[in-house]
Structure 1
Amino acid sequence: MTIWYGRLYLLIFIFLSFNLQAQIENRKTTFSAKNSVEIKEDKNTLALYDLYNKGEEKKAYKKAHSILKSASNHRSIARTNLLLAYYFNKRAIIDSSIYYTNQALKFNTVVNDSLKNRLFSLGYNLLAINYKKRGLLNESKKWHLKGIEASQKYNEKNLYYTHIHGLAQTYSELGDYNNALKLFKQCLTCKDDNEIILGSYINIGDIYSRLKDYENANIFYKKGKIICEKTNNDQGRVIVLLGLGENYQLQNKPQEALKMFQEALTIADKSELNQLSIVSRSSIGNTYISLKKYNEAKMIFSEALQKSVYFGLLQNQSSIYDELRKIAIQQEDYKNAYLFFEKAARIKDSINNLQKIKEINELEVKYKTTQKQKEIEALKFENEAKKLTLANQEEAIKNMLLQEEISKKNNENTILAFQNSSNKKRNEISLLKKDQQLKALEINQQKKTKLFTITAFLILLLPLTGLLFQYYKRFKVQHVLNIKQAEISSQKINGILKDQELELIKASISGQDKERQRISQELHDSIGGNLAAIKLQVNHLDVSNFSNIQKISLQLDETYQQVRSLSHTLLPKKFSQNKFLEVLESYLKNISEASKVKISFIPYPRKEINEMDEDIQIETFKIIQELLTNTIKHANASEVEIQLNFIENIVNLLFEDNGIGFDAAKQSKGIGFINLETRIKKLNGSFFIDSKLKRGTITNIEIPILEPKSKNKVKGIDLKNQLDELKSN
């Protein structure tokens, strides 16, 4: 399980906000007795600490800032900064906590060495905690070791165990569990501080849990829980609940673990325990992963990540990205898995870089301290020298007289030196004048050579300029000739294309004329003759003779069949031999290749469209032909999208192009538009065009499809009704 990443290093002195004044003022009475003149307690600072320890932390925070504005006593400033550092540490605002800790150490100039050392020890502890929260474990270890040294110097037992406890946690984070257990058990001997004992119980429980000794882990967690309930310690409760939940998780009891983690999250959010809140969410996310509830896990990890980024907790961010990567792998989302892996790697690199920067800063601090020590030694030496001079004033006076004589001789020597230097300068001036004359001669010679060079260059430049001008004129004439030739070529090509179009149109008209002639002959010879015969028989119809009526009925059937066969001969053969959509797609493909217009065609559903009535298919085909012709002729479009849908007995045609468009209000209706409108009205359809200049055109057509009725059936019913009427008459 991976929630150990946050919890083990987070178990950092849960007593920080509960015994703050006791930590600093542990030996207040003793110090007052020893140095009542040197140390005078600041009443405002004491009241501030009392307010913080009563739980009114936000009021204490505001009052601390007002004290910093008005305080002049370095001790008050240092202690106020330290309180602000603890305030931000509790809320996992690491940068602010480190800043105020450094400010406290900066103003820690108390005369009393023991009190000064105690405040340094507290500051070192707080720095170690902040760097541990950031995941910089080696940096944290360094400050704990410095704190142990400072607390041992003046036998500060409480602070000694504080740093021992913190160092044990660092060992635990680094995986050195033997040293960690040894130090935590040493902390249990500190009977005067329940908070250190509580932290030790929890940490020992965590280590045993990690070593899979769940029974011992539960024993120590329960001991810690008893102390939390006695002291009303919310932070301790959260950590104990996290430990118990982790134990359940390791024993494959996810539901019990989830219950513990959710209870811990509720307390952490309520008490503004931000880092514990992040760890609780991460623990819940891990439980969801074990239950294969990956979406819930991703959601809770996202909340934890957002808080980690906000508070600058690098180690938490790295671990959360690792968990999100595992979820992505489980969901086979390898793209996001790789993305999370990269982010985790970048954060780990930044942690390593920070470690290196800290080491460099540490070396810089050491260098500066050595420099200051040297300066102090130099000052001491000067003081000793002054003492010697004061002790030997008579000898100093004698030395002064001697120095005066020496200075007189030095003055004489300086006068002689000045005379020698003046002579040297005169000689140097004469040499400089000669150099100037030589340089003047060289400059005149250079001017003459430059003038000769420029003249020769100009003589060569003039014919070159003439040649270039002639070349430019020829190039310009040739360019104009090329343009004219290109125009003539394009005109010839356009003429050839127009001739081809005219030939095609003539052939089409000729074919149409022949087809009309054939249809007229068919109508005149066959259908016309039949209708004339039927008319004569009806005029001389004998109602009583039923056989005559049957003959007329048979002639009507024959005429109907002739009309039907004629209409079928008018249908294109490709509709009768192929499926409708195949014919239409082939037509669109040919048009696209010929016109270089990209045509996208989307039919739905294909089967129902192919099974539509042939009349509707023909009309739809002709409508698309008309729309496509108009688009190619007028729209200057590069792309066309056609959607043909047949849903709930309605044919919907959506035709869209990316052409130049037109203003529908000002555009006059052409023949093609009128033909299109007429076709759609015959089919009881609706027709809508949306177009604007430079935006393209969208045409939406809807045609309702009525239930097909058999013409033969209707005709037969009508004839039967007529026969029944004749019989009754």
Structure 2
Amino acid sequence: MRSKSFRIFKLLILLIFFSISNVAIAQNPGGRPPIKDLSEIKQMPASADKIIHLVRYARNPSMIYSDELKVEIEEVLQWAKDQKIDDQIANLTATRAIIELGLGNQELAVSYIKQAEEFLPKINDFQAVSIVSDLTRIYSRISNFEKAILYFDKMEALTKDKPQFILPRIAHLKNRINIDIRTGNTAKLKANYNIILKLAKESNNPDLLKNTRFSYAHALLNIRKEDEAFEILKELIPDLDNSTNNQTAQFFNILSRNYEANGDYKNALIYAEKEFNLPIATTQQKGNSVNKMILLSYLLKNYNNLDKYIVEHRKFGMDENNLFSRKQYFLAESRYYHVKGKTNLAKRNYKKVLNLKMGKQLAPTLDIAALTGLASLYAKENKNDSASLYFKKAENSLKKYPVNPATRLIYANSLKEFNQTNKISQDTLIKNLEQEMHLKDTLYQMSLSKITHELATKYRVSEKEKALVIAKKQQQLQQLEIKQQRQRNWLIIMGATVALLLLTALAYILFQRKKQATLLHNATVNDLRKQHRIDIMDTLTEAQEQEKKRVAERLHDEVGAMISIANLNINSLQKDIFSTNVDAENKLKVTQKLMSDISETVRNISHTLMPIALEKYGFKAAILDLLTAIKTANRLSVEHVIEGLDHTENWPQNFTLSTYRIIQEIVNNAIKHAEASHLFVQLIELDNALTIYIEDNGKGIEQDHDESGAGMKLLETNIAYLSGKLEIKGEPNQGTFALIELPIPNIVEL
């Protein structure tokens, strides 16, 4: 018993630790579990859990679709149809559409997504948003923009003014803007992005707001609004430095070009270097950025890294399909040789820049830089005619093309140096000075505006950083509060779990104790029943012995005496058989009477021991014979009612005989002691019991009457032996009744 209890205790301890570990895992917000492999999912039985894992697997962007996946989708889809789970059927059908789209089966994709659309009235809003999102995705991919816009409008109706759908609404508005850009319908671009920015702010998600602003800048680039994109990107500079994505290189390039256009070559070089150093930058992006780094170093007269730059420049080369990239490559070569004093190589590469043509593509800024560079080289060689020629060509390009003031100032400075070494007319000198002053003033104004704007930007960035710090601290505080709450919840759950397990253990122990007590009680009751049955058997045995003794005494006293007298008479007759005048006839008559009495007495004794009618004719006939005999012999009015008892031949013999004896004993008591004139006997056979009711109109039972006589004890013992119930009641001079209920034992089939 102790060993069993110890095992139970160990099991409870294990359960407690298991529950605690589960609670701890539940408290760890580690994100969604990893996506299961298809081989693992295949082992799972068809269920809602399997559908969740299968849909996650199928919708993973890096997934390679296969026929095996389609088979699994079909199996769980059939299960969902059998179970009539509408939301799962819609989800799986839409997933089939996405798979077919990924495999290039556009018609099948449209067919399946239309089937999923039919479930929209039957599913909840979250499922409906997912289905409509898939509809817009599929129609956008197959360039059916009319249908895509129709479902974008449905999505807007589903998600508008519903805070729980902020993220899906932002995503669908961004996709709508992409379609507008592709179709050339950009009139509402700014308005839609203002809505997106407002939603992103309402979400209180700084990362979402940042990504939305980057998306806005990218959209502006797609519609060639670089100046507006530049203004947005300047405010996002801290975020650009702290995060990297597939657009970062392009954003650094925009910043570099715009700073260069404004004459801020230092910042332009910084962002060109950042673009070049990006790990995710492409070969073309690295080639273009290193070329720009050489050109900016030339303008800044900072030649420290020029040799390092030229190595990278020749390593990454240029984009052969882009005129600007090719001209920039050879212009960088020219600047490098220009600085190194290799005049001929510099001239040759400057001329390459000027001679490069590609269809209708133009690069006037690079052409002017090459013309100005050639003019400067010829001026140093005192070839004034050639220098003047290239300066004139540069001037014509400045007049023909709208270039930024910084390029004009480069031209003006080079021309000023040339004029200082050559005699020119006063009017030309004044004109050049005025032009230079105007350009400087323009650049100054631009610089002043830029500085003012940068200060404002820095202030906004500073305020934003402060807000982000505050938001971060608030987030940390909230996370701390959440963590503390989770710890409290964990302790509560752990305590509740331990308490529950302890209560379970206590209940189990009490149950075992109760079970043991019940077993002990049942064992005691069984022992008592056995002892009671033994007592009954002893009483019956004693009664039988007394009955045997009574029969023996009767045989000895009555039958023996009569046999002795009969024997004397027979002996006397034997002696006097030849004598005359002997009263032989009288002796013979006496002997015959004695023999008749002996026979009657023996018959009565035999009938007392085993009624002949009971043995020959059955229980019912024996009872009727008994009642008839009583009525005849004792001059009693006997009334009887007997229901059933037609098939008592199947009753066990001891039950039949004991029941007969019980009825015989009660009736005999009524005859001997009650002085009754009327006797009523009722026997009713029920399904599984026999009811005996016997009533007389005799003198009843005295209050001080002793009911512990031998006859009553024998009667009670017989009834107890048969597991029956006895009730006897009587009032003085008002008769007596006895009610007995005996369960009929299982019938023995003959």
- Same fold, TM-score > 0.5, yes or no: no
TM-score, normalising length from structure 1?
0.35
Kindly name which structure, 1 or 2, has the bigger radius of gyration based on alpha carbons: 2
TM-score under structure 2 length normalisation:
0.34
